[in-house]
């Protein structure tokens, strides 16, 4: 074949691929067949009560007839200027519109084309309500509105959901929460918030930003290397300057409100309003998502209010392509069911969970499913066992030095290099303790909330304790499952008569099968830097603190102080050990 003939054939195949792209996309994503060509009206100005305008794009079927509407409000860009997330919004909007929906994708205040000043969390209730009221006045609106979006785009759904007009009928918040609070007690989520700053303020023209985003997708550690000086810098109140070359006022606001219960975070927390949310809700998340705890808390609040939300949790991280695809699939089905009354699009049971280790999906009536809460006690010689420890079981000790902080490895982090990782190098450090069961004699399913109850002592009044559940493979690999951190400060821990403290570390939730021959491990340390800012041991304000003091840490595990890992065992009355 000549070169000319080759180009003709390739051109012909390219035209076929373009003409059939919607069919192939539908098959790839397991979506219903696309039914409509799509028209896009760009740069639509939506007026706000204070006189500024937020700018949106309007995707709609190029067909006569009435169609429901889906609203996506985003700080990440609605076109190529938003790089990977902007491309995602263009792709998702096309998929919804070609299946019979109007789609409004809007830049939030102060972002891209929208006017006003960008200040995360603060204006979303007012701007979101003004936007849905604007939609209700449009001649093409048929009286049925749904909200869709991950992460911050899910948070903005909660900002308008309580006491919303009746035409707001469905929500699909994914990898998100009604609050996006970077604090665990007074421990600040340094890694996630600095990466978020970096992502929100990319440098260069569109092509350069696209190149940077592609490089970070290919090499998940590229951003980590770029931000390493900011992660290591003290005081952390200057880290925004290191990341962006300038001060960011809202970053300073976050650090001035340095506790979960600080007034600022309370003012932008929409979780207390769950009983006033009438829209049908389907939650989508991943076991390694940074906002899983908040999402499951929101699910529980809707259940407590008498509603029946849907829940899907897969084996995903926050920035996971497979999780984004599931949110799109679930969105099409959810909006078909609740905005078009196609009820057959709903699955039989409202809760669908991916059981890791078993590598299978299971469906349940509610979360968490009934399970038997079982304690595995810490013992001497690094053992974890179902029996209570002896009266004289000696305590374990280690030294935590904030000048050489215990590093974060995998887990729920705001980058691609999270999830389950081999922890052996981490566990070899002298500031990390491990407690491990014998090999299992049969499979054990752990489905539900996990926690540790530890009796501890520290030489510092301000310190951290970090606990992690791991699945130890027969070849020795120790893969993290779920974890959590407790920051001790005066009054935060339950003091014991002997001067020790009893702390409860919420280790979030999981659905994990520990296979026969595997071992269950509890890992204990005093940090996971930079996932949380390191405790410097001095109690100084985190924004300005630079002075460091090492902590001498003690973990008790005797009959009077029985430290334990508490697991929800599903479908088993007892645990068998391999002989």
pLDDT in tens, 31-83: 999 999 999 999 999 999 999 999 999 999 999 999 999 999 999 999 999 99
**Cis link prior to 235 (omega < 30° from 0)?**
yes
Helix axes 249-256, 190-200, angle to 10 degrees: 160
For tokens 């005066």, the residue is 490
Q: Taking all residues of the chain, what is their mean pLDDT, rounded to a whole number? A: 94
Indicate whether 576 belongs to any domain: no
Q: Does the pLDDT at position 5 exceed 80?
A: no
Digit-coded pLDDT (tens) for 137-167: 999 999 999 999 999 999 999 999 999 999 9
Contact 405, 468 (CB under 8 A): no
Dist CA 148 CA 8 (whole Å): 42
Q: Does the pLDDT at position 9 exceed 70?
A: no
Does 199 lie in the same domain as 175? no
Dist CA 387 CA 379 (whole Å): 9
Query: Domain boundary at 348, 367, 386, which?
Result: 367
Does 538 lie in the same domain as 468? yes
Query: For a pLDDT cut of 90, what percent of the chain falls above it?
Result: 89
185, 176, 183, 140: which is closest to 156 by C-alpha?
176
Q: What is the CATH number of the domain that holds 161?
A: 3.40.50.1820
Query: Domain boundary at 344, 367, 390, which?
Result: 367
Pairing, β 310-317 against β 501-514: unpaired
307, 340, 331, 291: which is closest to 162 by C-alpha?
307
Does 452 lie in the same domain as 386? yes
Structural domain total, the chain: 4
DSSP H helices, 371-517, are 424-427
Does 411 lie in the same domain as 322? no
What pLDDT does residue 487 have? 98
Q: How confident is the model at residue 576 (pLDDT cuts 50, 70, 90)?
A: confident
Dist CA 179 CA 279 (whole Å): 18
Digit-coded pLDDT (tens) for 289-347: 999 999 999 999 999 999 999 999 999 999 999 999 999 999 999 999 999 999 999 99
Q: How confident is the model at residue 7 (pLDDT cuts 50, 70, 90)?
A: very low
DSSP 529: B
Indicate whether 169 belongs to any domain: yes
Q: What is the mean pLDDT of residues 23-38?
A: 88
Q: How far is CA 417 from CA 190, 217, 219, 222, 487, in A?
A: 16, 10, 9, 10, 25
Does 51 lie in the same domain as 16? no
Does 136 lie in the same domain as 76? yes
Does 72 lie in the same domain as 18? no
> What's the distance, Cα to Cα, between the start and end of the chain in Å?
68
Does 386 lie in the same domain as 273? no
Contact 487, 535 (CB under 8 A): yes
Show the domain range for 127.
36-181+269-367
Dist CA 522 CA 375 (whole Å): 12
Q: How confident is the model at residue 15 (pLDDT cuts 50, 70, 90)?
A: very low
Digit-coded pLDDT (tens) for 247-271: 999 999 999 999 999 999 999 999 9
Dist CA 31 CA 230 (whole Å): 42
What pLDDT does residue 503 have? 98
Does 558 lie in the same domain as 446? yes
Q: What is the mean pLDDT of residues 462-473?
A: 98
Q: How confident is the model at residue 21 (pLDDT cuts 50, 70, 90)?
A: low
Which H or E run contains 376? strand 372-378
Query: Domain boundary at 229, 262, 295, which?
Result: 262
């Amino acid at each position: 074949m000549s070169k000319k003939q080759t180009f003709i054939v390739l051109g012909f195949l390219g035209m076929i691929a373009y003409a059939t792209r919607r069919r192939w996309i539908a098959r790839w994503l397991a979506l219903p067949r696309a039914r409509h060509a799509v028209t896009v009206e760009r740069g639509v100005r939506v007026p706000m009560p204070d006189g500024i305008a937020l700018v949106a794009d309007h995707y709609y079927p190029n067909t006569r007839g009435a169609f429901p509407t889906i609203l996506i409000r985003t700080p990440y860009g609605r076109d190529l200027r938003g790089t990977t997330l902007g491309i995602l919004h263009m792709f998702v909007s096309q998929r919804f519109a070609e299946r019979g929906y109007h789609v409004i994708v809007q830049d939030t205040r102060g972002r891209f084309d929208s006017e006003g000043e960008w200040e995360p969390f603060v204006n979303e209730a007012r701007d979101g309500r003004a936007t849905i009221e604007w939609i209700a006045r449009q001649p093409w609106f048929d009286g049925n509105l749904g909200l869709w979006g991950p992460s911050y785009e899910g948070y903005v759904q909660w900002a308008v959901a309580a006491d919303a007009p009746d035409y707001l009928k469905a929500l699909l918040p994914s990898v998100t929460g009604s609050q996006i609070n970077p604090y665990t007690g007074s421990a600040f989520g340094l890694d996630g918030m600095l990466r978020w700053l970096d992502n929100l303020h990319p440098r260069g023209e569109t092509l350069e930003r696209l190149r940077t985003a592609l490089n970070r997708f290919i090499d998940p550690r590229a951003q980590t290397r770029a931000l390493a000086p900011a992660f290591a810098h003290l005081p952390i109140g200057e880290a925004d300057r290191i990341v962006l070359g300038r001060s960011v006022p809202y970053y300073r606001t976050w650090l001035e409100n340095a506790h979960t219960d600080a007034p600022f975070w309370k003012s932008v927390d929409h979780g207390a309003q769950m009983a006033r949310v009438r829209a049908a809700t389907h939650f989508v998340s991943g076991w390694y998502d940074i906002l899983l705890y908040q999402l499951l808390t929101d699910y529980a609040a809707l259940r407590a209010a008498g509603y029946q939300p849907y829940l899907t949790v897969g084996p995903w991280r926050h920035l996971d392509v497979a999780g984004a695809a599931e949110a799109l699939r679930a969105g099409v089905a959810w909006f078909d069911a609740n905005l078009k009354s196609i009820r057959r699009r709903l699955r039989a049971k409202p809760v669908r969970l991916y059981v890791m280790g078993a590598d299978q999906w299971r469906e349940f009536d509610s979360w968490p499913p009934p399970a038997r809460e079982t304690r595995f006690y810490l013992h001497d010689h690094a053992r974890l066992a179902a029996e209570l420890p002896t009266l004289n079981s000696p305590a374990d000790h280690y030294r935590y030095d904030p000048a050489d902080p215990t590093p974060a490895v995998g887990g729920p982090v705001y980058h691609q290099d999270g999830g389950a990782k081999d922890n052996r190098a981490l566990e070899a450090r002298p500031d990390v303790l491990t407690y491990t069961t014998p090999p299992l004699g049969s499979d054990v399913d752990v489905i539900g909330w996990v926690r540790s109850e530890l009796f501890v002592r520290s030489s510092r009044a301000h310190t951290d304790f970090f606990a992690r559940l791991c699945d130890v493979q027969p070849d020795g690999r120790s893969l993290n499952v779920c974890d959590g951190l407790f920051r001790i400060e005066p009054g935060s821990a339950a003091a014991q008569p002997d001067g020790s403290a009893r702390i409860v570390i919420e280790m979030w939730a999981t659905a994990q099968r520990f296979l026969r021959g595997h071992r269950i491990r509890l890992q204990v340390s005093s940090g996971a830097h930079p996932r949380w800012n390191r405790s410097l041991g001095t109690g100084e304000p985190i924004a300005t603190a630079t002075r460091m003091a090492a902590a001498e840490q003690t973990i008790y595990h005797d009959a009077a102080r029985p430290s334990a890992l508490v697991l929800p065992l599903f479908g088993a009355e007892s645990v068998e050990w391999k002989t």
